[in-house]
Copies of this chain bind each other. A is one copy, B any other.
């Protein structure tokens, strides 16, 4: 049994055909670098014959000097009744500088007649000629049998002829595609087994997720002898997406004992998947297997009690193997053990007798209003510290005002007035920005900087808004999550209100209060002199 599986990532090509996914060349280069570090064997960079934007990627990826991954360019077999040597699409693949060509051709007689409208023989020639031309041009060639499983079910002899033609023309691998995503694992297993009787070169699988079986179909193909798997990170792709590599890789390696990447590389799976979702600006479902925020998160009281005794009671693998970690969720289902556990995680020792019950009560009330502390650890920590009485008020908020003006022939003007107190000093500042939250952020910092110069290092890096009760429409409660960093740490805070500005303000204020935990304000006289510009830097 071949124990090494080649991983082929098409996030940058097939992945971009998904709804809502759009990657710039810069985005693609960043992702390619991460994929290479993870140990991916092939990275498909784009379709040069279709998107001229992709040509820039193929040029610039050379400068990345990837350690490990080979770059592939995607494209179609030559057009009917023409010469491979003159086919614009194939020539663009050759010119791209990619080491590998992944070309697709028709395997399904129905498509040959209906979609490209030619004869079965001409299609076979299109396959042969294209593969042979690319081999002559010095590329490694992966031939993708589009709609292979549907084609085989409809006319097995013809489907086999198409891939035999590619093999005879010198292809390095035959990749069988379930392009519609409608096949089932047993079908995939038997068809791949049948193909293995006729193909002696590497067999690959390219599955889609239309039946929620993309991962299962990929594993079934591997069981039948495929040693090359194609997919996208986080399952991006047309319709229901491609087979999800972030689930396939740990299944193959940890569950089935195949070798794909090193153990160290596997530990970068979760950070890689999350990084890619950020770059792609697609929110990752918290429940995503292996790499999701909730993949190893425990909420039910009984589960939590059990895992605190032994993690294998409720965890199928050790989360750190894929770079994830166990989390205990605080929520309305929380008994005391969840909260104690979370507090310990945050380095706070809750007294068992009454503080814990008080805090649970307060959390339940806030959750009832719409606050959710899952994903807002810093706000939760502030709450716990307040309950314990271990926090000093770095500043208090008196009021804020926002003014937004937009005339149809001008840009918008947004100004904020913020009134706060540091110790007993009242400070009134104004700020402006391109939006209300930006303006409030600027005004607040202006007010605090003379007293807490460290504020300069604090940056907001992420800002998420969620309408909690969408049917409440414009009067609905809004929950804002803000992520902040300084040089060393990152933390998240939350704010809830039916007024989106107020919700943002609350999250912002919590973020700054968190950054200022344990900090003392500069002696107020100096600060006053700073503010009046009487001190030089």
Contact = CB atoms under 8 A, between A and B. Distances in A.
A224 to B, nearest CB: 12
Given A115-B309, A241-B287, A286-B20, A465 B500 contact: yes
Given A255-B184, A309-B115, A316-B181, A18 B287 contact: yes
B184 A219 contact: yes
Interface stretch (A31-39, A123-131, A391-399, A513-521): A391-399
A20 B293 CA distance: 11
A474 interface: yes
A244 B212 contact: yes
Contacts of A184: 219, 251, 255-256
Q: How many copies does the complex hold?
A: 2
B17 A300 contact: yes
Interface stretch (A57-65, A92-100, A232-240, A343-351): A232-240
A325 interface: no
A333 B15 CA distance: 13
A224 B447 CA distance: 69
Interface in A96-155: 110-111, 114-115
B475 A471 contact: no
Contact of A289 (B211, B255, B315): B211
A22 B332 contact: yes
B402 A404 contact: yes
A428 interface: no
A313 interface: yes
Given A402-B403, A414-B499, A500-B500, A316 B474 contact: no
A19 B299 contact: yes
A295 interface: yes
A522 to B, nearest CB: 24
Given A287-B209, A299-B17, A463-B467, A435 B331 contact: no
Task: Name the 10 nearest CB pairs between A and B, nearest first.
Answer: A182-B316, A216-B216, A212-B247, A460-B473, A435-B499, A399-B407, A465-B465, A19-B294, A180-B316, A438-B474
23 contacts: A16-B333, A17-B303, A19-B374, A22-B367, A114-B310, A115-B306, A181-B316, A182-B316, A185-B219, A211-B290, A212-B251, A212-B289, A215-B216, A241-B287, A396-B408, A402-B405, A404-B436, A404-B501, A435-B500, A435-B501, A437-B474, A461-B473, A463-B470
Interface of A: 16-20, 22, 50-51, 110-111, 114-115, 179-182, 184-186, 209-213, 215-216, 219-220, 223, 235-241, 244, 247, 251, 255-256, 278, 281, 285-290, 292-303, 306, 309-310, 312-317, 329, 331-333, 367, 372, 374, 396-408, 412, 414, 433-438, 441, 459-476, 478, 482, 497-502, 504-505, 508
